[in-house]
Amino acid sequence: MFTKIELKKGVNLYIRPTEQFKTISMSFRWTAKLSAKQAASRTVLSNVLQDSNEDYPKQSDLRKALDELYGSVFYMDSGKRGNSHIVSLNMECVNDEYLQTSGVFDEVLNMVSTVIFRPNLKDGKFDETIVNREKRSVMERIRSVYDDKGRYAQKRMLELMRPDHPASISSNGTEEDVQNITADSLVETYEKMLTEDAIDIYIVGDIKQDTIVEKIRTMFDFKEREISYERYENAPIEMKETRQVFEKQDMKQGKLQVGYNTPITFFHKDFPKMQVMNGILGGFAHSKLFMNVREKESMAYTINSVYSANYGILYVLAGIDAQLEEKAVTMIQEQLDAIKTGEVTDLEVDQTVALLANSIRSAFDSARGQIELFDQYKQLDENFNADKLIAEWHEVSLDDIKRMASTIQMELIYLLSGREA
Amino acid sequence: MEKITFDNLQETLFHERLDNGLEVYILPKRGFSKTYVTFTTKYGSIDNTFIPRGKDEFVTVPDGIAHFLEHKMFDKEDGDVFQKFGVLGASANAFTSFTRTSYLFSTTQNLYESTKVLLDFVQEPYFTKEKTDKEKGIIAQEITMYDDNPDWRNYFGTIQSLYEAFPINIDIAGTVDTIQEITAEHLYECYETFYHPSNMSVFVIGAVDVDEMMDFIRKDQLGKSFSEPEEIVRKYPEEPIQAGQKKVVLEMDVLRPKFNYGLKCNNVSIEGEEMLRQDLAVNLLLDILFGRTSEFYTTAYAEHLIDETYNYDFTFEKGFGFAMIGSDTEKPDELEATIKKTINAQKTEWTITKEDLDRSCKRRIGQFMRSLNSIEFISNQFTQYNFNGMNLFDVVPALEKMTLNDLKEAFQTVNNEESHSVMTIIPPVKEG
């Protein structure tokens, strides 16, 4: 679905000309090995690069320029996948065709180039005031997870299951790591990112392939680089017994997280089978968890299961009355046992495959969805498209589903609840 | 069937009002593989006092009933409606707002079968005492989940302090207590009154054949029998100009205070073009005074009065309107003072220029174009505008016509400090 052009060794351009959208979307992605320290530094760097540059040393001027370009959207972000940390620069502008003006796209490209190659440096250093301000912003972002009880419960579950492990390292790093960043160390991070990271550039929209390739080649003269790509492999987990951890805060509802491990990861050949198993268990409104724990027992409003394939983790999350924790865990385990013993109807399988197909096709109806999905699945297949994956889901048999369910082991029961419960 | 083209946007909208009063809109989008269909009634949480169909006196129903009804629509004698959509590979959902209840699905296959399921389940009510009582546990968990969410408490708490009488101050889902009062009879009464086709609209967008779809819906509706359309009589209390409460502080288990400044709009009995102009003008005004290019933002961010959670927006429908400016902050008092100063400075001396206006209009035009990539946005926004007599596709022409005077008039509708309130969520105060 994307055409790949290798600009330089380690620097790839992926383009998709389409008339589907009224805008042109771009995403530049820098990928390096994940560590908490690097994550912190790269996140602060992306904030600093987003703030200002040589052409626009003041944030308000940069924002004014973007407004003049018909509200072009520009933001930088940081995330993780497996043992990789990814910094992304995202830009979206209206296709000139819909405006009473022209040249918007070219100006936007210019601006992207400035953000990347001409940051706001003084004497070879980032501005201390800006660095300190953005350090503070990132620290506040890290801390704010506490205020969102659902996210906090999930973070705790991952920390308890996989301490000091890519699965639990935040893509923002830790507060302490952020605190240690200096204006000097940030320049090192910047230079390393520009010269050593794997770079993927995505462009989706009504564009002409030849012209765009030429423009990108000249405007973004990245150096070639050696990428020693290490595919992330999950170390086998030695399971002794299921742990229970209950924590308290001032809140009304109980947030239950049940964590399981599985040897089936994203790169395993059985990955699509596990996706179907997870859909039957708790991916949708027809799934076993929703139908039994919510609809039959009226115990929860939210209950679903998530398959975190990168780390071989599957977890169930539910908002419940904390006093019903034991009953809820028993019921969750019953649903999983039912799948293990093959108590799954053809209807459940068909519904799940149909909805998985619908969700992936629907995701392709946005430029961002196209970029995100392709970027992930190209690790398996550079010629990835939705139909191939959908065909694999259709092949999944009841035996496969039973087998997938039996690879799963309950590792942790975590409950975050109110103090008086 | 009426065909409306918007040349500059390269979009074509088809519309027909069926004999039973149902408004049907279809908008084909090239290149899209999915179709998104919504079936919406003009009935939300604010419609709590009305004359039920076939009666002649006003009743007031328990808080949270529109949302409760939405939940119960999915539960039928022959099982759960989600199952039927699931078989077809359609992803279904529903939501209740202050003024609307929407049922919807999106699909990349079996479009007509799914449309049939949607039309049928919304038009065939089935409520029993047993099923009504059973739902209370699920909704109580939903309410409790929102109770633990500080951002929601801050948002809704601001509305409650601004509005003393108008029922927008009632939580959409009600409370754990009020939903206990809801009976199957209540549900039928609300259903009969508000789910008549003449109070509803269907919007189909994405991969769709216009003629076939219109024909399909027309035939489906002809095959069902409905009573005659009747005008719905709703009653809303008079809302004073002043905010109900000037300041509210709530303790929750958060690490940093969450601040929200609310501005009640005092010109809300308008509709159509006038409403669209005021809606856009207040939004532009907020962009200019409080957006990321503003003096306010630059100073407040540098002085650590606001952080990455900073946000502002304007909500405007017939009968109510409010703007909000909020952020997590260590310095809620200073932030409040700076917001007030920014507003008062414009009262003393108007400094907004034509250049500011033009730049903000460009931004809003671009933002609108971008949102046209989302079929969900078009569908939901079009329906909301339509219920308020506005046309979503007039946004760009209205922005192009915008004048500084429009902004000044819009400023008058929100700048009265008497109509403002401040809501803050603070971390637990340690005792002893």
Q: Which of B279, B403, B137, B66 is nearest to A296 (CA)?
A: B137
The confidence score (pLDDT) of residue B431 equals 65
Tell me if residue B23 is catalytic.
no
Fold of the B247-426 domain = Cytochrome Bc1 Complex; Chain A, domain 1 (3.30.830)
Last-in-domain residue among A162, A186, A219: A219
Torsional sign, CA A12, A17, A18, A19? positive
Burial A176-213 (b: 16+ CB within 10 A, else e): ebbeebebebbbebbebbbeebbbbbbbbbbbeeeebb
The yes-or-no verdict on residue A239 having pLDDT over 90 is no
Alpha-carbon gap, residue A163 to A411, rounded angstroms: 13
Half-sphere exposure of A153 (CA within 13 A, CB side): 28
State ipTM: 0.91
Does residue A203 lie within any of the structural domains? yes
**CATH code of the domain occupying B2-222:** 3.30.830.10
Tell me if A143 sits within 8 A of B256, measured CB to CB. Answer: yes
Tokens at A81, concatenated? 């996948």
Question: Residue A234 pLDDT > 90, yes or no?
Answer: no
Instruction: Compare CB distances from B293 to A63, A357, A364 and report the shortest one's residue.
Output: A63
From chain A, pick out residues whose CB is under 8 angstroms from the CB of B149.
Answer: 148-149
pLDDT score of A255 more than 70: yes
Per the domain annotation, does A151 fall within a domain? Answer: yes
CB contact under 8 A, B141 and A301: yes
Distance (Å) from the alpha carbon of B236 to chain A's nearest alpha carbon: 31
In a domain, A228, yes or no: no
User: What pLDDT, on the 0 to 100 scale, is given for residue B210?
Assistant: 98
Co-location of A84 and A121 in the same domain:
yes
A155-214 pLDDT per residue, tens? 999 999 999 999 999 999 999 999 999 999 999 999 999 999 999 999 999 999 999 999
Q: What integer is the mean pLDDT of A264-286?
A: 96
Q: How far is B210 from chain A (nearest CA, A)?
A: 18
The full set of domain ranges for chain B reads 2-222, 247-426
Q: Which two tokens stand for residue A108?
A: 């936007």
Helix (H, G, I), strand (E, B) or coil at B235: coil
Q: Is the residue at A373 inside a domain?
A: yes
- pTM for this entry: 0.94
Whether A233 is in a domain gets the answer no
Say yes or no: do domains B2-222 and B247-426 share a fold: yes
Burial class (CB in 10 A: 0-12, 13-18, 19+), B154: buried
Q: 10 Å Cβ neighbour count for A101? A: 10
Residues A39 and A169 in one domain: yes
Work out the minimum CA distance from A369 to partner chain B, whole angstroms.
Answer: 12
Helix-then-strand count for chain B, H and E: 14, 16
Phi, psi of B386 (to 5 degrees): -60, -40
Closest CA to A261 of A343, A396, A389, A157: A157
Q: Is A370 domain-assigned?
A: yes
Inter-chain contacts counted by CB atoms under 8 A, chains A and B: 195
A305-328 residues labelled b (16+ CB within 10 A) or e (exposed): bebbbbbbbbbbbbbbbbebbeeb
| A144 plus A247 within the same structural domain | no
Say whether both A18 and A153 belong to one domain. Answer: yes
Instruction: Flag whether pLDDT at A100 surpasses 90.
Output: no
Do A117 and A45 meet the contact criterion of CB atoms below 8 Å apart? no
Whether A14 has a pLDDT exceeding 50, the answer reads: yes
Lowest mean pLDDT among A303-312, A322-331, B1-10, B293-302: B1-10
Q: How far, in Å, CA of B47 to CA of A289, rounded?
A: 34
Closest residue to B253, CB basis, from A250, A320, A350 = A250
What CATH number did the domain enclosing A402 receive? Answer: 3.30.830.10
Compute the Cα dihedral for A99, B374, B284, B258 and give only its sign.
negative
Q: Could you tell me if residue B358 is left (phi over 0), alpha (psi between -120 and 50 degrees) or otherwise beta?
A: alpha
Which strands, in side-by-side order, build the sheet including B101-107? Answer: B2-6, B11-17, B23-28, B200-206, B35-41, B101-107, B91-96
Query: Number of structural domains, chain A?
Result: 2
Is residue A254 domain-shared with residue A209, that is, in the same domain? Answer: no
Which stretches of chain B drop beneath a pLDDT of 70? Answer: 431-432
B113 touches chain A (CB under 8 A): no
Say yes or no: A338 and A372 in one domain: yes
Q: Say yes or no: A70 and A156 in one domain.
A: yes
Domain span at residue A139 reads 3-219
- Given this model, what pLDDT does residue B129 score? 97
- A401 and A254 part of one domain: yes
Residue located via tokens 């990112």: A193
Chain B nearest CA to A182, separation (Å): 19
Using DSSP, state whether B280 is helix, strand or coil: helix
Indicate which of B284, B373, B396 best probes the interface with A, i.e. most A CBs within 10 Å of its own CB. B373
Contact B10 A350 (CB under 8 A): no
pLDDT given at position A421: 46
- Do A269 and A414 share a structural domain? yes
Given an 8 Å threshold on Cβ–Cβ distance, is B148 in contact with A149?
yes
Q: Write down the pLDDT at residue A230.
A: 73
Paired tokens of A387: 């139909």
Rounded-to-integer distance, Cα A254 and Cα A322, Å: 4
Cβ atoms of residues A258 and A161 within 8 Å = no
pLDDT at A61: 95
